[in-house]
A and B are shown apart, each in its own frame.
Chain A
């Protein structure tokens, strides 16, 4: 595609439900990063992949959060048993190089847990 695509753009879910957020990176981009952005803050690192391998998940808040990128392209961030504190903008970025000197961001998914 022309850019990084994230879906859904908006998600409202009830506390305790599981949600899956999708990121479709620019074709051929090797690195994919997930960030979370709370209101009034900058994005914060969650996890990243080089190709299909998850390299670092140290930014994931707890074990309810997981991510995968099974074929080195589309990635899914899953949040189990959602809580109100999970409400935030979730951003995905892809880069053509591992050095990530040119990251392209999607429009984000606004998650609201009620």
Chain B
């Protein structure tokens, strides 16, 4: 079984400030890791993913995340946020060897609000 914990349900920041959204996971097997973003009235959009290789992954809109296996974390960062980054962010995992079920297990989400 897998689980994902997003430690902050809400993160308010000012425009142009840096931000980190925290994600920790629990799994007995190797995992793929994902961050999705949901803008109001839209579907979930893939922001970035870690499958293998370099532990620092870069995604769209200037976001990046670092996989830390020893700490079972996959925190999302952006050095300077914009108003348009206001959205809900979901961290998710799936099993590397899922048989054929590669379902995503999501955290509860973090609402990022960027204020002017």
Q: Mark B89-116, 1 if CB is under 8 A from A, else 0.
A: 0101010001011111111110000000
Do A42 and B43 touch across chains, with their CB atoms under 8 A apart?
no
Do B51 and A45 touch across chains, with their CB atoms under 8 A apart?
no
A84, B108: Cα distance in complex, Å: 22
Total residues of chain A contacting the partner, CB 8 A: 30
- Which chain A residue shows the least CB distance to B101? A56
Asked whether A44 and B108 contact (CB < 8 A) given A55-B100, A56-B101, the answer is no
A102, B34: Cα distance in complex, Å: 9
| Chain A contacts with B in 22-41, Cβ cutoff 8 A | 31, 33, 35, 40-41
Asked whether A105 and B32 contact (CB < 8 A) given A98-B100, A99-B102, A100-B104, the answer is no
**A43 on the B face (CB < 8 A):** yes
A31, B32: Cα distance in complex, Å: 17
Count of A-B residue pairs with CB < 8 Å: 67
- Which chain A residue shows the least CB distance to B97? A99
Do A106 and B43 touch across chains, with their CB atoms under 8 A apart?
yes
Give the contacting residue for A42; candidates B51, B92, B102, B103; CB below 8 A: B92
**A107 on the B face (CB < 8 A):** yes
Asked whether A91 and B104 contact (CB < 8 A) given A42-B92, A101-B32, A101-B51, the answer is no
Contacts of B100 in A (CB 8 A): 50, 55, 98
Total residues of chain B contacting the partner, CB 8 A: 25
| Chain B contacts with A in 14-51, Cβ cutoff 8 A | 32, 36, 41-46, 49, 51
In the complex, 29 of the A-B residue pairs with CB atoms within 8 angstroms, ordered by the A residue number, are A4-B43, A31-B102, A33-B103, A40-B108, A40-B109, A41-B108, A42-B4, A42-B106, A42-B108, A42-B109, A43-B106, A44-B106, A55-B100, A55-B101, A91-B44, A95-B102, A98-B102, A99-B98, A100-B98, A100-B103, A101-B49, A101-B102, A102-B49, A104-B46, A105-B45, A106-B43, A107-B41, A107-B42, A108-B43
Contacts A91-B44, A95-B102, A101-B102 known; list 13 others, CB within 8 Å. Answer: A31-B102, A35-B106, A42-B4, A43-B44, A43-B106, A45-B105, A50-B100, A55-B101, A93-B44, A102-B49, A103-B46, A107-B42, A107-B43
